[in-house]
């Protein structure tokens, strides 16, 4: 892949104007389409096939008024006055509401069939509205006629009176970006400028990240017309897109600047940067992408949609980094080359100072590994402990910013009618078989009123068809209070008793009941999702680093990072510790899907830092340094970039906290904490210490496992080798092998073939067939090098297989037909040649040789020189038999 990315980087560099124009045109076109055809966000949380959702769906069919989109006008008169005094004005407003096309029904606070709409203090009343909209997420313009009636009512009341609109229709909190979030980008620009040493260079990652986010956002807005997308999704995508977009561009741009500093040509440098660091970016993006797509294991539609769009944002960020960035490099050209420092100035700087804090820090952790491990692990476990008390809930108006219309209405209802009035529970009863449906509902109402935690039961009524009864239960506690969840479970448990007592089936629904179902489903999904993430982590890292202990260490570190993020989020959001720092008005639950979302996103980000940091350590180790020297050298080389990337990501996440929506505030905080812990405590502190204790064992991998695992070239080692050997062997050969070997199969092979050659390859079947398979790209080599049909082995084995023909006559029924049909490649290998023992077979073989010699060479493989017959040869090569040393035998 690195060779392909290298070619892509150079192509984008050369075609810079075209590439830039394509991306910008795409942004403009999608933007125009999005703002013309976009739909609205949908904050309805549904779980198909759950009992609460099934009950709500049935209620919508049998009791459409009760399940319709609702709104309410909360009216509160000044202290010392009675709401009855203003009944005429309120009743007039009810009539105005009822006359609107948007309102299906308006219920007066004094309706004889409904209780509980006038407060016990006689100062407040609620006008209930059932709305009639084609969408369940109406816009402010859609609601304008309703809001105007409320404003007119407010004008008819005393100055100190309050009229506020709330309910489902007004609970949609639209995503918004403020100047505070922009500060995160300013911090990122400062960090980039310090690291890259150039304001111009620092601007490129910001430009590419913003472009990527713009494209992903316009796609999302356009698709709101087709898919149900909740309002948390776009802000999550913006936050994640900016963070990974800047980081991915930084890794590539940093490599480009380093190469330019060494004197490399700008175009060549762009290609190598994309081929090397770009490979790591693809791997990093792929891990985040898979983790986000993996959210679908929860089988919750809104979470699946959120994961898909977030994953798409990451994919676009990767594509932008691999194409748009090298095009911008081409536009900047030589201006990207760092200015050379004066030798005299550089000589005056002591080596320790030039290496800076990173050399000192890795020195401390590697000199005292046990102390480092104990302190870090104990501290992170301590931060994880509060996670056991993590409280989750669905968003409600009480979590919105103070002063928003929905929040004002929520607070007025809680103050005047009790906290439970903001989250009534709905009990439905199948009364079609009852001979006394009214009496049955009255009995159920009485039973429910006697239950602990119930404030009142204002409604117990059948639908017009008298087949379904609806009972509205107002708890004594708010919708996100654990006691309300306990009441819902108690109502569910009562169902069996009511069926035995009254012969009626009941179901419980409403926001709190749905929240319980969502929480239970998410909790059930955490284990399979966690196994997926941890398993993927172990496999991917084992494949990347060819090690058992590196992935185990990385995965345990990831779990510590996740646990610490959960624990800190619990302390701040659930318990209110340091809530002022995050601009949190009061302790509150976090959104239900935060745990699984955090696990997915942080997994990808943690693997990013692990790969970028440890791969450099592995590179140092492979080049002959001792285990500790490799750790220190790799850390000093990659640490500054990893630290800068982490600071940028933390800044982007952190500045979404102060002014963010309640849901996104908690997610941003958890991600900021998770990244900070993972980057600085786990990867840059714990990892060097653990690697030091492991020593050479850190790079141990059983040979049987080495064979099973795929190979990932995340640091572009293949590209580096191909570039170094680009002009090798420097002649007109179609095949050239230099000490090419396969452990336990064939010893070092050294040969050269030019166009028109026909040679014999003889020896025992294992050695000669092994040599033929290795040279034709069909058997992985373990040492040496070769170039066959223009491609380097083993790196270009796929290209060699496409260009080289291998035919073993022992595997075909008719050697003559097989030889006649064989494709003439750049090189043709014919194995077990002794089976071409008939005149027709020899004639077909000669025909294949004639077809091939014009453009390539032929290798005839047999047990001995005699088996080659009388075919004129340019030479005979004896395949060397490998010793068992170093083999798996």
Same-domain pairing of 195 and 329: yes
β-bridge partners, 720: none
Same-domain pairing of 444 and 590: no
The fraction of the chain above a pLDDT of 70, given in percent, is 94
DSSP 881: B
**pLDDT, mean over the chain:** 86
Position 407 in a domain: no
Query: Tens digits of per-residue pLDDT, 425-467?
Result: 999 999 888 888 899 999 999 999 999 999 999 888 888 888 8
Average pLDDT over residues 504-515: 84
Asked whether the predicted pLDDT for residue 775 surpasses 50, the reply is yes
**Is residue 134 very low, low, confident or very high in pLDDT (cuts 50, 70, 90)?**
low
Q: What pTM, to 2 d.p., does this model score? A: 0.79
Position 887 in a domain: no
What integer pLDDT is reported at residue 352 of this predicted model?
43
What integer pLDDT is reported at residue 884 of this predicted model?
40
Task: Give which of 676, 669, 674 is closest to 642, Cα–Cα.
Answer: 676
Same-domain pairing of 798 and 704: no
What integer pLDDT is reported at residue 794 of this predicted model?
85
Asked whether the predicted pLDDT for residue 246 surpasses 80, the reply is yes
For residue 732, the Cα-to-chain-centroid distance in whole angstroms is 48
What integer pLDDT is reported at residue 173 of this predicted model?
64
What integer pLDDT is reported at residue 175 of this predicted model?
58
Query: Tens digits of per-residue pLDDT, 373-395?
Result: 999 999 999 999 999 888 887 77
Average pLDDT over residues 78-98: 92
Query: Tens digits of per-residue pLDDT, 824-841?
Result: 889 999 999 999 989 999
Same-domain pairing of 184 and 125: no
* Count of the separate structural domains present in the chain: 5
Compute the radius of gyration of the chain from its Cα atoms: 35
By DSSP bridging, strand 758-762 and strand 857-862 are parallel
Query: Tens digits of per-residue pLDDT, 541-553?
Result: 888 888 899 889 9
Query: Tens digits of per-residue pLDDT, 163-188?
Result: 999 887 777 666 566 677 778 888 88
Name the more confident of 32 and 405: 32
What integer pLDDT is reported at residue 818 of this predicted model?
94
For residue 15, the Cα-to-chain-centroid distance in whole angstroms is 31
Residue ending a domain, among 170, 200, 221, is 170
CA distances from 781 to 74, 738, 777, 789 (A): 78, 12, 9, 17
What integer pLDDT is reported at residue 353 of this predicted model?
46
Same-domain pairing of 100 and 157: yes
CA gap 659, 402 in Å, rounded: 12
By DSSP bridging, strand 783-788 and strand 791-793 are antiparallel
Q: What is the side-by-side order of every strand in the sheet holding 505-509? A: 454-462, 468-475, 425-430, 505-509
Q: What is the CATH number of the domain that holds 638?
A: 1.20.1640.10
Average pLDDT over residues 243-262: 89
What integer pLDDT is reported at residue 137 of this predicted model?
64
Q: What is the CATH number of the domain that holds 732?
A: 3.40.50.300
Average pLDDT over residues 759-769: 91
Query: Tens digits of per-residue pLDDT, 530-543?
Result: 888 778 778 888 88
CA gap 722, 741 in Å, rounded: 19
Same-domain pairing of 586 and 663: yes
Q: What is the CATH number of the domain that holds 500?
A: 3.30.70.1320
**Is residue 343 very low, low, confident or very high in pLDDT (cuts 50, 70, 90)?**
low
Position 25 in a domain: yes
What integer pLDDT is reported at residue 889 of this predicted model?
29
* Listed range (396-405, 650-659, 764-773) with the worst mean pLDDT: 396-405
For 483, left (φ over 0), alpha (ψ -120 to 50), or beta? alpha
CA gap 424, 426 in Å, rounded: 7
Same-domain pairing of 162 and 182: no
Q: What is the CATH number of the domain that holds 68?
A: 3.30.70.1430
CA gap 820, 812 in Å, rounded: 12
* Listed range (291-300, 328-337, 338-347, 685-694) with the worst mean pLDDT: 338-347
Furthest-apart CA atoms within the chain: distance in Å:
120
- Reading the block at residue 826, the tokens are 């750049």
DSSP output for 787-844 = EETTEEETTTHHHHHHHEEEEEGGG-S-HHHHHHH----SEEEEESGGG--SHHHHHH
Backbone angles phi, psi at 862, to 5 degrees: -150, 175
Same-domain pairing of 465 and 378: no
- Evaluate whether 857 touches 754 at the Cβ level (below 8 Å): yes
> For the chain, how are helix, strand and coil distributed in percent, rounded to 5?
60, 15, 25
DSSP output for 578-616 = TTTTTT-SS--PEETTHHHHHHHHHHHHHHHHHHHHHHH
Domain around 465: 424-509
CA gap 824, 616 in Å, rounded: 43
Average pLDDT over residues 119-135: 85
Asked whether the predicted pLDDT for residue 577 surpasses 70, the reply is yes
Average pLDDT over residues 124-134: 85
What integer pLDDT is reported at residue 536 of this predicted model?
79
CA gap 198, 203 in Å, rounded: 9
Average pLDDT over residues 134-151: 80
Residue ending a domain, among 317, 349, 381, is 349
CA gap 741, 733 in Å, rounded: 20
Name the more confident of 205 and 68: 205
Asked whether the predicted pLDDT for residue 153 surpasses 90, the reply is yes
β-bridge partners, 787: 736, 792
- Evaluate whether 483 touches 477 at the Cβ level (below 8 Å): yes
Position 304 in a domain: yes
For residue 74, the Cα-to-chain-centroid distance in whole angstroms is 42
Asked whether the predicted pLDDT for residue 351 surpasses 60, the reply is no
Same-domain pairing of 120 and 181: no
**Is residue 135 very low, low, confident or very high in pLDDT (cuts 50, 70, 90)?**
low
Same-domain pairing of 651 and 666: yes
DSSP output for 409-467 = HHHHHHHHH-GGGGS-EEEEEE-TT-S-HHHHHHHHHHHHHTSTTEEEEEEEEE-TTSS
What integer pLDDT is reported at residue 174 of this predicted model?
60
- Reading the block at residue 297, the tokens are 């294991």
Residue ending a domain, among 292, 321, 349, is 349
Position 884 in a domain: no
What integer pLDDT is reported at residue 300 of this predicted model?
82
Average pLDDT over residues 492-499: 91
622: which residues sit within 8 A by CB, 6+ positions away?
Answer: none
Same-domain pairing of 374 and 259: no
Position 663 in a domain: yes
Asked whether the predicted pLDDT for residue 601 surpasses 60, the reply is yes
Average pLDDT over residues 326-352: 71
Position 872 in a domain: yes
Position 398 in a domain: no
Query: Tens digits of per-residue pLDDT, 840-883?
Result: 999 999 999 999 988 899 999 999 998 888 888 999 999 988 65
- Reading the block at residue 371, the tokens are 């102390």
For 761, left (φ over 0), alpha (ψ -120 to 50), or beta? beta
CA gap 615, 244 in Å, rounded: 19
Q: Which residue has the tokens 């124009």?
A: 21
User: In which element (H, E) is residue 393 found?
Assistant: strand 392-393
CA gap 461, 438 in Å, rounded: 7
Same-domain pairing of 159 and 177: no
Average pLDDT over residues 30-47: 80
Handedness of CA 101, 102, 108, 113 (dihedral sign): positive
CA gap 716, 70 in Å, rounded: 58
Backbone angles phi, psi at 262, to 5 degrees: -85, 0
CA gap 786, 779 in Å, rounded: 13
């Amino acid at each position: 892949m690195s060779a392909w990315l290298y070619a892509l980087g150079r192509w984008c560099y050369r075609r810079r104007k075209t590439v830039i124009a394509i991306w910008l045109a795409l942004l403009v076109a999608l933007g125009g389409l999005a703002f013309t055809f976009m739909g609205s966000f949908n904050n309805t949380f549904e779980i198909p096939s759950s009992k609460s959702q099934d009950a709500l769906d049935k209620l919508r069919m049998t009791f459409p008024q009760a399940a319709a989109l609702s709104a309410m006008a909360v009216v509160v008169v000044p202290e010392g006055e009675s709401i009855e005094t203003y009944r005429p004005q309120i009743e007039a407003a009810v009539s105005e509401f009822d006359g609107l096309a948007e309102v299906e029904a308006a219920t007066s606070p004094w309706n004889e069939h409904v209780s509980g709409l006038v407060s016990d203090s006689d100062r407040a009343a609620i006008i209930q509205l059932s709305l009639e909209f084609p969408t369940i997420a109406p816009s402010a313009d859609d609601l304008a006629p309703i809001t105007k009636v409320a404003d007119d009512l407010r004008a008819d009341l005393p100055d100190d009176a309050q009229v506020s609109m709330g309910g489902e229709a007004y609970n949609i909190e639209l995503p918004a970006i403020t100047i505070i979030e922009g500060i995160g980008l300013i911090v990122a620009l400062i960090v980039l400028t310090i690291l890259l040493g150039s304001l111009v260079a620092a601007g490129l990652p910001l430009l590419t990240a913003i472009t990527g986010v713009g494209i992903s956002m316009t796609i999302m807005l356009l698709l709101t017309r087709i898919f149900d997308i909740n309002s948390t999704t776009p802000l999550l995508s913006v936050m994640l897109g900016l963070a990974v977009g800047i980081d991915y561009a930084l890794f590539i741009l940093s490599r480009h600047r380093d190469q330019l500093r060494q004197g490399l040509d700008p175009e060549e440098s762009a290609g190598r940067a994309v081929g090397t660091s770009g490979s790591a970016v693809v791997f990093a993006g792929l891990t985040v992408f898979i983790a986000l797509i993996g959210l679908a294991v929860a089988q919750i539609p809104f979470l699946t949609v959120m994961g898909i769009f977030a994953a798409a944002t990451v994919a676009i960020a990767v594509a932008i980094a691999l194409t748009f960035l090298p095009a911008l490099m081409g536009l900047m050209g030589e201006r990207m080359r760092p200015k050379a420092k004066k030798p005299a100035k550089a000589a005056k700087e002591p080596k320790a100072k030039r290496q800076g804090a990173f050399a000192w820090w890795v020195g401390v952790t590697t000199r005292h590994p046990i102390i480092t491990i104990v302190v870090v692990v104990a501290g992170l476990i301590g931060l994880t402990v509060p996670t056991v008390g993590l409280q989750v809930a669905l968003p409600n108006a009480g979590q919105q910013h103070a002063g928003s219309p929905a929040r004002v209405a929520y607070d007025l209802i809680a103050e005047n009618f009790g906290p439970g009035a903001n989250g009534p529970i709905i009990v439905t009863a199948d009364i079609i078989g009852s001979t006394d449906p009214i009496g049955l509902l009255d009995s159920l109402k009485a039973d429910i009123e006697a239950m602990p935690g119930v404030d009142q039961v204002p409604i117990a009524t059948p639908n017009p068809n008298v087949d379904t009864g609806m009972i509205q239960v107002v708890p004594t506690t708010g919708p996100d209070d654990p006691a309300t969840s306990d009441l819902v479970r108690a109502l569910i448990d009562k169902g069996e008793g009511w069926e035995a007592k009254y012969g009626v089936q009941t179901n419980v629904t409403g926001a709190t009941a749905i929240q319980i179902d969502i929480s239970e489903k998410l909790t059930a999904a955490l284990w399979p999702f966690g196994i997926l993430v941890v398993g993927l982590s172990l496999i991917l890292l084992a494949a990347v680093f060819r090690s058992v202990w590196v992935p185990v260490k990385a995965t345990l570190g990831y779990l510590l990072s996740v646990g610490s993020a959960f624990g800190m989020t619990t302390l701040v959001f659930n318990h209110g510790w340091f809530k002022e720092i995050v601009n949190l008005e009061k302790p509150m639950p976090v959104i239900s899907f935060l745990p699984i979302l955090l696990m997915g996103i942080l997994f990808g980000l943690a693997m990013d830092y692990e790969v970028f940091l440890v791969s450099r350590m592995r590179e140092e180790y492979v080049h002959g340094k001792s285990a500790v020297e490799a750790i220190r050298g790799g850390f000093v080389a990659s640490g500054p970039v990893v630290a800068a990337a982490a600071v940028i990501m933390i800044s982007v996440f952190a500045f979404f906290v102060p002014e963010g929506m309640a849901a996104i505030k908690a997610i941003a905080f958890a991600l900021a904490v998770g990244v900070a812990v993972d980057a600085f405590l786990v990867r840059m502190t714990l990892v060097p210490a653990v690697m030091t204790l492991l020593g050479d064992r850190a790079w141990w991998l059983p040979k049987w496992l080495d064979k099973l695992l795929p190979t990932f070239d995340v640091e572009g080692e293949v590209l580096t080798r191909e570039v170094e050997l680009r002009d090798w062997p420097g002649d007109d050969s179609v095949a050239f092998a230099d000490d090419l070997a396969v452990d336990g199969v064939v010893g070092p092979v050294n040969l050269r073939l030019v166009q028109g050659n026909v040679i014999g390859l003889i020896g025992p079947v294992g050695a000669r067939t092994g040599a033929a398979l290795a040279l034709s790209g069909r058997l992985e080599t373990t040492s040496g090098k070769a170039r066959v049909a223009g491609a380097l082995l083993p790196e270009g084995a796929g290209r060699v297989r496409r260009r080289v023909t291998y035919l073993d006559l022992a595997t075909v029924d008719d050697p003559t037909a097989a030889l006649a049909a064989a494709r003439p490649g750049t090189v043709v290998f014919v194995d077990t040649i002794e089976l071409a023992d008939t005149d027709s077979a020899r004639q077909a073989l000669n025909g294949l040789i004639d077809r091939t010699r014009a453009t390539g060479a032929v290798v005839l493989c047999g047990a001995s020189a005699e088996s080659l017959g009388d075919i004129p040869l340019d030479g005979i090569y004896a395949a060397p038999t490998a010793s068992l040393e170093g083999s798996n035998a």
